[in-house]
Amino acid sequence: MTKQRTLALAVTLALAAWASAASAASGTQIDTAIDKGLAYLSGAQNPATGYWAYGGYEPAATGAAAFAMLSQQSHWAGNAATYQANVDKAMSYLLSTATKIDVSTRNDGVKICPGGAAACAGVFWNAAGNEDTYTTGLIAPAIALYGATKGAGSVATASGPLAGMTWGQIAQGINNVFAAGQSTANQGPNLRGGWRYTLGQPTYDSDMSTTQWAAIAMIYTQTLGATAPAIVKTDLANFLAFTQNPVTGAGCYQGPGSGICNHADTGGLLLSLSFIGKDATDPAVQKALDFLDTNWTQSASGTWFGNFDHPYAMWAEYKGLELNIGLDDTSVISNLRPGGCTTSGEGPTSPYTCNWWQDYNDWLVSSQNADGGWTGYAYWTGNLATSFYLPILGGTEIPVPAPEPATLAMLAAGLLGIAAMRRRRNG
């Protein structure tokens, strides 16, 4: 289901908004930027431990970097042996630093283990500040991509906390710990369905920034056969409805009253809405898309706000937009940077029309440092910024969230079309 990068290789992209007479970034420049970014990450890895340094958040940065490298495996070429060694070391480090616990129910007593089992294994990663949800959400996609190359049923490691577990079992353990740590009605009607920072000893609170990492983790772990109880999605729908600004459509940190409604939380909202089964025709999705279109050209500001030059926001938006409207859309996000992209480009056919993804790619090519990395912004710099930007340049396809079993039965009976199941991509 890997998307071909034909469009990216063929497109001519605009440079920065202020460069009115600049030439656009070509497909060759995009490929060169990806190659330089991979080389940067490869050289930045600690060769002894296998992690990428990030001030106490090494597991999170390592998960993000390993995912970025794996997502661009088609660019490894002559560096394949070196880059494979990079991700192998990263996986060894991550497997050795995981935490395994037993879980059974949420704090409202609802059983969360597959098949109604009384207890099951939970797997997560801790880091500085006990930000388990962020950390595990960054690692889960890397586990999924790497585990897929080994086989879900193959044993991941013979030593450490996850000794003897298969890649599929680790993926299920990630889902189990997220299901057990989800906020419930015990936290009040608004917070029900979201997540906060901790997983092993959950604080049972909710914010949109944190919640998106549970959604992306479970979207990826499903590719290794992991499942989550249906109540996870039904309760998540409650929190998503609360946290969206009903006027602007933006995703908000903890509801409109929090005063933090921004691009990053809106991208996370779009991703999470897709996870629970909403498509681009849903009113909540349309409102979120309208917010991004209206505020598309904003630059990073005030730590939490803005779009361009904000690695956390751009990666969150990319995931939400890729899932809901795809990389070819030209109509939903039309308020592009002044100057826009050119309408002609290199490739087998032309002209090519500028769109949101090309606008991102153009900015990324023009802002890349000579060493192949990106400076980043606020908390998201260097290794982490580069790890967020590379999958955007490469047009990484986010797995389509799996429908519920009942929906699958309807599909098998022919009551729903394939287009409805995939629920994304403009016509």
Expressed in angstroms, the distance from the first to the final Cα of the chain is: 18
Does residue 143 carry a pLDDT above 80? yes
pLDDT digits (tens, 9 = 90+) for 187-235: 999 999 999 999 988 788 999 999 999 999 999 999 999 999 999 999 9
What is the residue-averaged pLDDT of the chain? Answer: 87
Q: Tell me, which fold does domain 6-422 have in CATH? A: Glycosyltransferase (1.50.10)
**Whole-prediction pTM:** 0.88
The residue whose two tokens read 């469009």 is 7
Does residue 19 carry a pLDDT above 70? no
Mean pLDDT value of segment 15-42: 68
Instruction: Give residue 354's pLDDT.
Output: 82
pLDDT digits (tens, 9 = 90+) for 320-379: 999 999 999 999 999 999 865 654 344 333 444 589 999 999 899 999 999 999 999 999
Q: What are phi and psi of 342, to 5 degrees?
A: -75, 165
pLDDT digits (tens, 9 = 90+) for 146-173: 999 999 999 999 999 999 999 999 999 9
pLDDT class for 251, splitting at 50, 70, 90?
Answer: very high
Q: How far apart are CA 113 and CA 115, in angstroms?
A: 6
Comparison of pLDDT for 28 and 289, the residue scoring more: 289
Q: Which two tokens mark 150?
A: 């080994």
pLDDT digits (tens, 9 = 90+) for 256-275: 999 999 999 999 999 999 99
Does residue 20 carry a pLDDT above 50? no
Q: How far apart are CA 260 and CA 279, in angstroms?
A: 25
Q: How far apart are CA 190 and CA 248, in angstroms?
A: 19
pLDDT digits (tens, 9 = 90+) for 390-399: 999 999 999 9
Instruction: Give residue 158's pLDDT.
Output: 98
Does residue 182 carry a pLDDT above 50? yes
**∠ CA 196-197-203 to the nearest 5 degrees?**
70
Comparison of pLDDT for 52 and 22, the residue scoring more: 52
Instruction: Give residue 347's pLDDT.
Output: 33
Instruction: Give residue 352's pLDDT.
Output: 47
Does residue 10 carry a pLDDT above 70? no
**Which ranges of 151-296 would DSSP assign to H, the alpha helix?**
167-180, 208-221, 230-243, 263-275, 283-294
pLDDT class for 403, splitting at 50, 70, 90?
Answer: confident
Does residue 32 carry a pLDDT above 60? yes
Structural domain boundaries of the chain? 6-422
Instruction: Give residue 340's pLDDT.
Output: 57
Contact 356, 307 (CB under 8 A): no
Q: What are phi and psi of 286, to 5 degrees?
A: -60, -40
Does residue 288 carry a pLDDT above 80? yes
What is the SS3 assignment for 170? Answer: helix
